[in-house]
Structure 1
Amino acid sequence: MTYKITSKCISCDLCLTVCPTGAIKVINGERWIDPNLCTNCVGSIHTVAQCAAGCPTCDGCVKEPLNYWDGWFDSYKKSIDKLTKKDNYWERWFNRYSKNYSQELKKKVVG
């Protein structure tokens, strides 16, 4: 899976200087990554893709999925990770909801 330059690119050209394979090109003012040269920085001294790591927008350079389903599952996994990385998110939500519900129920029974 190679990387691609998105519409969020601000043309700062930092990615040009950090790409170890020279895969990032500028043609007619548009930046793009040559998929034949992009190695995702695998096999180099870097542990992450340097174009993505050095991008000041954080979304100017992203992994390009091989097909529709790869992209869909990547988006799904990110969404699930956001929900499950919260410490006891659903448990706290349920406790708060049940507490508020109990208070409202007491108001109706007493009132």
Structure 2
Amino acid sequence: MAYEITSQCISCKLCLSVCPTGAIQEVDGNYWIDSELCTNCAGSIHTVPQCKASCPTVDGCVKQPSDYWESWFATYNRVRAKLTNKQDYWENWYKSYSQKIAQQLQKHQGPIVI
């Protein structure tokens, strides 16, 4: 298996519907790739693994490192990037979800007229 689903997964379930072999499994709300079923989309009409191509997050589905040091440096670089990220958590949350919440409120309350 060359790809894995990380903790960055937002559980959007897009990967479930696009996987041609059904290798992506869900257990208790967590997703993982079954290495017995995964073919990395090789030999199919797809030129790239569909789990990676369909993932709306940057790091929800990533290529699995092939050796220990590659894995170590990938983790180190990811943690280091988070530590140097200046964006506030709530600002990120607001940008990500405010439109969705506003749409749901409008759906239930009707349009707001000023």
With structure 1 as the length reference, what TM-score do the two structures score?
0.60
| Larger Rg, first or second structure (1 or 2) | 1
In the other structure, the counterpart of 1:5 is 5
Q: CA RMSD in A?
A: 2.0
1:22 paired with 2:22, answer yes
Aligned counterparts, 1:46-65, within 5 A: 46-65=46-65
Deviations 1:23-74 (A, max 9, x none): 0000111100011111111110000000000000021001112321454688
Shift in CA distance, 20/68, structure 1 to aligned 2, threshold 3 Å:
same
1:41–1:50 Cα contact (<8 Å) kept = yes
- Which residues of structure 2 form unaligned runs of 5+? 76-114
- Which residues of structure 1 form unaligned runs of 5+? 76-111
SS at match of 1:41: coil
* Aligned residue-pair number: 75
Distance in 2 (alpha carbons) for counterparts of 1:3 and 1:42 = 13
Distance in 1 (alpha carbons) for counterparts of 2:71 and 2:45 = 27
SS at match of 1:26: strand
